[in-house]
Every structure is written in C-alpha cells, then in structure tokens.
C-alpha cells in the first residue's frame, strides 16, 4: 500500500518561497494579501491537489464541524427520514453527521453520548430511548457549552430546544376526521401511559370526542407496551369483543393499525364500512396495505432539517439554547380505511 503523504501548507510555502502564514492567508483569501499572491498560491494548491488537513484545522479551532445524532432505532421509516433531513441540512452548511443508535437502551444511549462528547462532535441532536427518564448524560453536553436539540422523544425538563410533532393537535385532527366521516364509537389503541407522545395523542383524542359530544370509555383505550403489530391485532380483538364494540379505531402507530386491520379483515369486518381504522406516522405500509390506511404524516425529513438548523444556529452564536419547543406540522393522509361516506 502507498501512503502518499498529503501536501501541507509548509510544502506550499517552501516551494513558493513564501511564509506559511502567507500561504494560509492566501488560501483563505484573507484581506491584506495581494491578489497576485492569492492567485499564485491557489494555483499551486490546485495543481498539487492540496487539501487542508481538517483534523489539524479542527484541532486548532477546537471544533469538528460534525454534529452527532442519536436515535432509538435506525431501521425505522420515521427516524431514517429525520436522519436524511439532518444530513441534508448539515451538509448544506458544511457540517457532517455522526450517527448512533441506542436500540432503546439507556446504557447504549449513555455510551453513545460519552463517545460523542469526548470531542467528536460540536453539538448533539437526540431522540431519547424508552428507558431514558432523566438526562444527566445529556446535560454533560450543555455543561461543556455544547448545544443539544431534542426531538420526537424528549425529556421535558431538560433545558434545550425541542422539535416535536404536535401530537395533541394531530390526534385531534385525525379523530375529527373519523367523526366527520360519521363514526360515533371511536376507540383508541394508545401507547405506554408514561410516554409523552402517547399522553398527548390520548389528550387530543379525548378533546375531539368531548368537543363533538361523543362518548369516551376507558375500555375503549387499551395501552400497548411494544407498539407492535401483534398488539394491534390483539387489542382490536379485545375491542371488537366488548359488549359495546367501537365502530372506529384510532391507532397510536401504523404498525398497530396494521395489526388491527389484519384482525378485522380476518374476521370479516368490513373496513371502512363497519369499522374505520386510522394509523399514525404514514409509513410506506400505510400506502401499500389493502385497504389503504389513513394516517398522519409526521414530516420526518423536515423535522431533521429543523433540528439541524436550530443546532447550527446555536453553534454559530456559541449558545446552548433556550427551553423552546418547536412543533412540526403534520398532514392527515386520507385513504380507504376511513372513507365511510
């Protein structure tokens, strides 16, 4: 293997008979350098394929031009969309993205944070794991003056900017759509009771029922723990076997909705005529399943962009940011599964 040493500023300076500082200034087009010199140096650099050693630059400037991103799960339409948006925005501004995942484990999350904090990133964008309750490992960033943006799954009382889906509003709109379609007994397969997204969606669901004078029943609101297809199937079964079964099911997630849909299809319920089904997240499966699943699109890409631009702004200003919450709009995507009328 060849280890062709890269040409350095020193080489340029020597070959051109100028000083290193002049070469540096010329390449960075500082004021106070003659156009002549600038041209000479730039031409030489071009010709000899000079690439500044960015490790050295980083070292000198004490920054990395890299931002870290930690998500609970990478193989997931929503999170990969967010990452995609983050990369896009970061690259636009000359930054790179270091990606890690916690696999929903607090220990992994802490390890990832530590590794990034050791000097590989200038700031952090994170969506916490299910296990994370408290954020001392995240606070370490702030303590060193490195900004953090939380998104989607957040720790409320950690003083960072937050980018989230407006879960209340989105759930409200989704349920209102069901109501508008003429469904009257609307159940909600919710998520974990202690997770903010679940709580907010549940509130939005309740408020929509309240505002439209529809009945709310505790036994119409089961709570998932895994948020899996199987749970969707099982809870749909449980709901439909109630003495008073619902005529629509609003699901915490498309995967759960898929399970519900499968139960309903398998057992001869007509969707959407007898039972309406609404998902959340608008994954690819919502589009391809039969019948097409109405869902709420969370604009993951946009969320990634927003979180990144917020972080870069703070980086530019040298701040760690205020405790402000930014809500990203959602879109209700209406498909067959709720088209009763």
Partner DNA sequence: TTGAAAGCGCTACCAC
Partner DNA sequence: GTGGTAGCGCTTTCAA
Give residues in contact with DNA (CB under 7 A): 5, 8-10, 17-22, 24-28, 31-34, 36-37, 52-53, 56-57, 59-62
Residue number, 57 or 210, with CB nearest to a copy of itself:
57
113 binds a copy of itself (CB under 8 A): no
The site string for a copy of itself over 247-286 (x = CB under 8 A, - otherwise) reads -----------x------x-----------------xxx-
Residue closer to a copy of itself by CB (options 179, 271) is 271
In the window 214-243, what residues touch a copy of itself (CB under 8 A)? Answer: 229
CB 183 within 8 A of CB 214: no
Q: Is 318 in the site for a copy of itself (CB under 8 A)?
A: yes
Min dist. Cβ of residue 42 to DNA (A): 12
Write down the number of H helices and E strands in the chain.
13, 11
Q: Which does 145 bind (CB under 5 to 8 A by kind): a copy of itself, DNA, none?
A: a copy of itself
304 phi/psi in degrees, rounded to 5? -65, -45
Which of helix, strand or coil describes residue 239? helix
Q: CA neighbours within 13 Å on the CB side: how many for 72?
A: 17
Instruction: Return the one option of DNA, a copy of itself, none that residue 74 interacts with (CB less than 5 to 8 A, by type).
Output: a copy of itself
Q: Which is nearer to a copy of itself, 73 or 169 (CB)?
A: 73
Backbone angles phi, psi at 291, to 5 degrees: -75, 150
In 3D space, the residue among 322, 255, 303, 247 whose CA is nearest the CA of residue 282 turns out to be 255
Strand partners, 123: 67
| Calculated CA dihedral for residues 41, 47, 49, 52, nearest 10 degrees | 0
Q: Does 327 bind a copy of itself (CB under 8 A)?
A: no
Residue placing its CB nearer to a copy of itself in the complex, 12 or 179:
12
87 to 106: interface string for a copy of itself, x by CB under 8 A: x---x----xxxxxx-----
For the chain, give the number of residues: 341
DSSP structure class, residue 156: T
Could you tell which of a copy of itself, DNA, none binds residue 160, using a CB distance below 5 to 8 A set by kind? none
Instruction: Compute the C-alpha angle 137/153/191, nearest 5°.
Output: 130
Is the CB of 39 or the CB of 92 nearer to DNA? 39
Count of Cβ atoms closer than 10 Å to residue 317 Cβ: 10
In the complex, least distance from residue 130 CB atom to a copy of itself, rounded to whole angstroms: 17
State how far Cα 201 lies from the chain centre: 18
**Cα atoms found within 13 Å of the Cα of residue 13, Cβ hemisphere only:** 12
Q: What is the DSSP track for 201-213?
A: HHHHHHHHHHHTT
- Cβ proximity to a copy of itself: between 258 and 312 the closer is 258
Interface residues with a copy of itself (CB under 8 A) are: 1-4, 6, 51-59, 62, 64-66, 74-77, 80-81, 83-84, 87, 91, 96-101, 111-112, 115-120, 143-145, 229, 258, 265, 283-285, 288-290, 318-320
């Amino acid at each position: 293997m060849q280890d062709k040493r890269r040409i350095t500023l020193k080489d340029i300076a020597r070959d051109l008979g100028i000083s290193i500082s002049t070469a540096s200034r010329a390449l960075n087009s500082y004021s106070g350098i003659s156009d002549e010199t600038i041209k000479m140096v730039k031409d030489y650099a071009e010709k000899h394929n000079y690439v500044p050693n960015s490790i050295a630059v980083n070292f000198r400037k004490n920054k990395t031009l890299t931002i870290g991103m930690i998500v609970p799960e990478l193989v997931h339409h929503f999170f990969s969309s967010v990452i995609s948006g983050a990369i896009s925005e970061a690259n636009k501004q000359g930054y790179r993205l270091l990606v890690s995942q916690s696999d929903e484990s607090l220990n992994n999350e802490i390890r990832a944070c530590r590794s990034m904090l050791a000097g590989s990133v200038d700031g952090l964008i994170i969506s916490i794991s299910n296990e994370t309750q408290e954020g001392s490992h995240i606070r370490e960033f702030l303590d060193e003056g490195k900004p953090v943006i939380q998104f989607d799954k957040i720790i409320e009382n950690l003083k960072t900017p937050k980018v989230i889906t407006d879960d209340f509003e989105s759930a409200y709109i989704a349920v209102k759509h069901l109501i508008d379609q003429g469904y009257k007994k609307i159940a909600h397969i919710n998520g974990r009771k202690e997770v903010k997204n679940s709580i907010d969606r549940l509130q939005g669901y309740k408020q929509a029922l309240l505002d439209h004078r529809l009945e709310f029943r505790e036994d119409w609101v089961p709570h998932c723990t895994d948020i899996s297809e199987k749970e969707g199937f099982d809870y749909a079964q449980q709901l439909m076997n109630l003495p008073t079964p619902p005529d629509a099911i609003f699901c915490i997630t498309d995967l759960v909705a898929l399970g519900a849909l499968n139960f309903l299809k398998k057992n001869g319920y007509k969707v959407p005529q007898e039972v309406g089904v609404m998902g959340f997240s608008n994954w690819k499966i919502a589009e391809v399943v039969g019948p097409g699943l109405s869902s709420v699109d969370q604009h993951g890409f946009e969320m990634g962009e927003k979180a990144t631009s917020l972080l870069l702004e703070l980086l530019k200003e040298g701040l760690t940011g205020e405790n402000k919450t930014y809500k990203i709009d959602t879109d209700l995507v209406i498909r067959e599964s709720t088209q009763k009328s």
